[in-house]
Amino acid sequence: MDYLQIGITTAIAFVIAAVGTPMLLPVLRRIKAGQSIREDGPQSHMVKSGTPTMGGLAIIGAVVITCLTAGGANRDMVIILTAFVAYGALGFLDDFVKVSMKRNLGLTAKQKLALQILIAVGLAYYQSRVSVYGTTVYIPIVNQYLDFGIFYIPFIAFVVVSMVNAVNLTDGLDGLASGVTMIVALFLALVGSTYGFTTTTIFCAALAGACIGFLLYNRHPAKVFMGDTGSLALGGGIAAAAIMMNIELVIPIAGGVYVAEAFSVILQVVSYKTRRKRIFKMAPLHHHFELSGWKETKVVGVFWLATFLLCVVGFLIV
């Protein structure tokens, strides 16, 4: 798949998302799907309360339509889309509970984790049985493959669940998660094109285009949020694409912003529970920079730039 085809696929998904998102907004307002803002979050975010959420439905729709028309329903495409949509459905359920109960918390942590693991194990099992690489994992930089054997499925499930939750944590500022994912998806599309993973390339190009189209309405000041519907789907999609290309260990590099966001939360919790001291002014990391005086648009811009540079590094070592 050449760069022109990637561009066309990206453009198709962009148009669908750009047209679909404003069509979705009246529906979200009608069902009163307004975002509830954390009371312990930055006070500057309180003005965002009531902004329509669950806009991730537009991203999911754009990706699915584009993939089925551009790539067809071959087995790998069905598996990638199944993981993508399944995580989106889980996020939608979580968002629906939040909206209907008018609270910031939806499903319990145990419920979400159990369902996330179930989807991840299914994806890992498929890849271990179908992939020509079997249970081996590509190790970047040293350019070697390591056979994980019976530990493959648990390892891949851990990677998927970690990525899904890391993207979810990144979704805290206008345009942050959608912009970072757009860049990572384009990176994966280029890798897929370079190494002949046509199906994955189509999916990633569509994902990038859908994120760009959604960004028209999600950039600051956001008219709509993707909600867990979008963030869980994005995380699941990125993880599934990387696993299909056997480059799951490259994602922590290219998606370094996701990793930093997740680790900031882990470090903050561990530090507070063990020392009663906070490392950051607030976690995830983007809130720390906000409370340090950075404008929201500056944080987003810097994180986008960091992601671009990390993707360049990832492309050099893949």
Best CA proximity match to 53, nearest among 307, 229, 295: 229
CB within 8 Å of 38: residues ≥ 6 apart: 45, 104
Report the pLDDT value the prediction gives residue 44, as an integer from 0 to 100: 65
- Indicate the SS3 state at residue 139: strand
Over residues 233-263, the pLDDT tens digits come to 999 999 999 999 999 999 999 999 999 999 9
CA–CA distance, 134 with 123 (Å, rounded to integer): 13
How many Cβ atoms from other residues are within 10 Å of residue 9's Cβ?
Answer: 26
How many Cβ atoms from other residues are within 10 Å of residue 310's Cβ?
Answer: 23
CA–CA distance, 144 with 137 (Å, rounded to integer): 8
Q: Which residues of 168-190 are buried (b: 16+ CB within 10 A; e: fewer)?
A: bbbbbbbbbbbbbbbbbbbbbbb
Report the pLDDT value the prediction gives residue 100, as an integer from 0 to 100: 77
- Indicate the SS3 state at residue 52: strand
Report the pLDDT value the prediction gives residue 43, as an integer from 0 to 100: 62
Compute φ and ψ for 39, nearest 5 degrees: -70, -25
Cα pseudo-dihedral 17, 227, 98, 83, rounded to 10: 80
Q: What is the 3-state secondary structure (H, E, C) of 294-312?
A: CCHHHHHHHHHHHHHHHHH
Flag residues of the chain having pLDDT under 70.
36-46, 102-106
CA–CA distance, 88 with 293 (Å, rounded to integer): 34
**H or E stretch covering 145:** strand 144-147
Residue in the structure block whose two tokens are 């290309």: 245
Report the pLDDT value the prediction gives residue 72, as an integer from 0 to 100: 75
CA–CA distance, 309 with 142 (Å, rounded to integer): 21
Alpha carbons within 13 angstroms on the beta-carbon side of residue 169 total 23
- Indicate the SS3 state at residue 34: strand
The ranges assigned to domains in the chain are 3-132+144-249
Given a contact cutoff of 8 angstroms between Cβ atoms, the answer to whether 151 and 275 are in contact is no
Report the pLDDT value the prediction gives residue 38, as an integer from 0 to 100: 61
Tell me the two tokens of residue 15. 């148009």
